Amino acid sequence: MKSDIPKQYLSVKGVPIIIRAIQCFLNYRSEIKVIVCVHPSYKAHMETLIKTFNLGNYSIQITHGGDTRFQSVKNGLQLITSQEPAVVGIHDAARPFVSKLTIEQCFETARTKGNAVPCMPVNESLRKISNNINHSVNRNEYKIIQTPQCFDLVRIKKAFEQDYNTGFTDDATVLESTGETIHLVEGNPENIKITSPFDLILANALAETT
């Protein structure tokens, strides 16, 4: 991002990306319990943002992230001590435009099927490169994966008891490694992950219309 601060703290139309992401879930259900995993050096900053944007009356906990996504998620899951049946949604802080409908579909599908992962179709042509040789592949056989990825609490906590594997590219792959089948639901195209300066331009444009 060519920024002095992590991308999730950059502002889009005056509101930090991470705050926008949290607000998406509070708009879905105001009583939802939110856990934010942050680098230790940004814990105080995150606390200030929660106060500045009047989120102090909501259930928001902050814990330290880890060196990997796997460890960060594991740290967050350890704060959930409820013994009641529950669904947990794991979301990228850099996705500030997830729709209420996407969140709802993910949580509801996970309640009935044990997990749910939002996805979008691939609209571009794809080519696979192997040993410097490339060939076309059927794009209909691929999906672009988004978040929140939602899971039955017991199953995902058990999945995160295993050792970290470099093949764990997201939370769904962690659960999948235990033998579970992953269930896909339709995401929303505005649910972009902000990873580059160009994405930030798109985000500011989206903020004008959402």
Q: What is residue 1's predicted lDDT score, i.e. its pLDDT?
A: 83
> Which residues does residue 116 pair with via DSSP β-bridges, in sequence order?
150
List C-alpha distances in Å: 173 to 8, 56, 58, 70, 162. Answer: 23, 34, 31, 10, 12
Q: What is residue 83's predicted lDDT score, i.e. its pLDDT?
A: 86
The C-alpha atoms of residue 191 and residue 193 are separated, in whole angstroms, by 7
pLDDT class of 79 with cuts at 50, 70, 90: very high
The C-alpha atoms of residue 116 and residue 178 are separated, in whole angstroms, by 16
Handedness of CA 186, 190, 194, 197 (dihedral sign): positive
82-108, pLDDT tens digit by residue? 889 999 999 999 999 999 999 999 999
Asked whether the predicted pLDDT for residue 210 surpasses 90, the reply is: no
Asked whether the predicted pLDDT for residue 66 surpasses 80, the reply is: yes
Across the chain, mean pLDDT equals 97
Asked whether the predicted pLDDT for residue 209 surpasses 90, the reply is: no
Domains of the chain: 7-209 (3.90.550.10)
Asked whether the predicted pLDDT for residue 56 surpasses 80, the reply is: yes
